[in-house]
Amino acid sequence: MTAPADRLWRHPAFLKLWAAQTISSFGARIAREGLPMTAVLVLKASPAAMGALAAVGLAAYALVGVGAGVLADRAPRRALMIGADLGRVAVMVAVPAAALAHALSIAGVAVALALSSALSVIFDVADHAFLPSVVGPSQLVDGNARLASTDAAAEIAGPAAAGLLFQLLSAPVAVGASALTYLASALCLAGLPPQPRDAGAAAAPGSLSPLAGFRVVLAHPLLRPIWLMAVLGDFFGWFFGALYILYALAVLRLTTTELGFTIAAGGVGALVGAAAAPLVARRLGAGAAIVATAFAMGLSSFLIPLAGGAPLAAMSLLIAGQLTGDALRTVGEIAQTSLRQSVLPAAELGRAAGAFATGRGMAGFAGALIGGALGGLIGPRETLLLAAAGVAAPPLVGFASPLRRARADTAT
């Protein structure tokens, strides 16, 4: 009998979706690193400014999340993904154009972050809701693992390419290069036929309110603790998100190339996590995998603020943190997504994904602002130590809930 994972290699629709996400993910990593690098090294952004920049992107993500969920349950999901890709092409072309015109500013970078974040949440929400219409229930964990594996590959190559491109050319040019990847992603999706369940039109019209996704998630005994864990984790995690590049470049004195390869090490960890996730989810159960990886992530996060000494010595601890943290995070994210897709009807998946995006975005927004402000007051390293302590909180939620006994093949 052919295993579900083996059948995916001969699944044309999944392969086209996989190709689109692979190309898009690579460009997203270049843009993600290129915009903050531009702010630090070209525009000389302060810790507070870096926190504000991260918060702007997260605010857009949070504000668009619930609306994106409603859209994904009302409109064709493939069309939403193509539109988001084309919108990001326009945004990423505008950044190098502004730089060439000597008109780029912190405010301009903030606008680019806000727009790209808003479009990314539309793409991500539609993508999460679209996958169950492409593959069967028994293929969800393996399908999510394949998609995560290419995210991991992009995490390896994208940041390293951004660092090298910055040194050879400039960060705005590296950001502009990502426009080509979004265009290629849109072309791949355009060749994918709409799926019979590719819309949320079956959902009751009265249930398509902006708050419907929160009602779906918070009323569910398994999704509620996952949502709370994600919100707590992103609040403290964005202390790292706001200060990591500044900490590495200004405190640890890494070069942009060293930083690019350090971040790329996280992609290696994520690749390992994506490969291991199906086995872990089947052996432990999805719920136990979510709780266990959250606990281990809390421990590994201390490696980052403890880094110090000569740049290469500091880089080795950062790499260790990236490897372990990203591997654990990937296993947990695959388990979370697969469990959500397994326990909810197809017509509610968009709104649930929107509720997760908004909750996490709001938590990240607050975390980035507070983390950036604390970084300016007490120092980046001290702020990251506080963040590491905070990352230990989410698994306590999971331990106190039925989540630890849940499996991804739970029937709705």
In a domain, 292, yes or no: yes
Count, residues in the chain? 412
| pLDDT at 16 (0 to 100) | 83
Q: Which CATH number fits the domain that encloses residue 312? A: 1.20.1250.20
Helix, strand or coil, per DSSP, at residue 135: coil
| pLDDT at 411 (0 to 100) | 38
In a domain, 99, yes or no: yes
| pLDDT at 121 (0 to 100) | 82
Model confidence over 207-261: pLDDT tens digits?
556 577 788 888 888 889 999 999 999 899 888 888 888 888 888 888 877 887 8
In a domain, 274, yes or no: yes
In a domain, 201, yes or no: no
Helices (H) then strands (E): counts for the chain: 15, 0
Backbone phi, then psi, for 230, in 5-degree steps?
A: -65, -40
Tokens of 238: 């964005």
Residue-level pLDDT, tens digit, the chain, 412 residues? 344 455 666 677 778 887 888 888 777 777 777 777 777 767 777 777 777 777 777 777 777 877 777 777 777 888 888 999 999 999 988 888 887 888 878 888 888 888 888 888 888 888 877 877 777 666 777 777 877 777 777 767 766 666 676 677 666 777 777 788 899 889 988 877 765 444 444 444 445 565 777 888 888 888 899 999 999 998 998 888 888 888 888 888 888 778 878 877 877 888 888 888 888 888 888 888 899 999 998 888 999 999 888 888 888 899 999 889 889 998 998 888 888 888 888 777 888 888 888 888 788 888 888 988 898 889 889 999 999 999 888 888 888 888 877 765 543 3
262 within 8 A of 318, measured Cβ to Cβ: yes
| pLDDT at 383 (0 to 100) | 92
- Please give the helix or strand (H or E) that residue 392 lies within, else none: none
| pLDDT at 408 (0 to 100) | 57
Structural domains of the chain, count: 1
In a domain, 107, yes or no: yes
Q: What is the distance between the alpha carbons of residues 241 and 227, in angstroms, rounded to a whole number?
A: 20
In a domain, 8, yes or no: no
The tally of CA atoms less than 13 A away on the side-chain side of residue 109 is: 29
Residues 6+ apart with CB under 8 A from 294: 229, 233, 328, 332, 394, 395, 398
| pLDDT at 208 (0 to 100) | 54
| pLDDT at 256 (0 to 100) | 77
Q: What is the distance between the alpha carbons of residues 286 and 398, in angstroms, rounded to a whole number?
A: 12
| pLDDT at 6 (0 to 100) | 54
In a domain, 212, yes or no: yes
| pLDDT at 214 (0 to 100) | 84
| pLDDT at 199 (0 to 100) | 45
In a domain, 203, yes or no: no
Tokens of 122: 């539309």
365 within 8 A of 58, measured Cβ to Cβ: yes
| pLDDT at 89 (0 to 100) | 92
| pLDDT at 204 (0 to 100) | 45
* Domain coverage including residue 362: 13-191+208-405
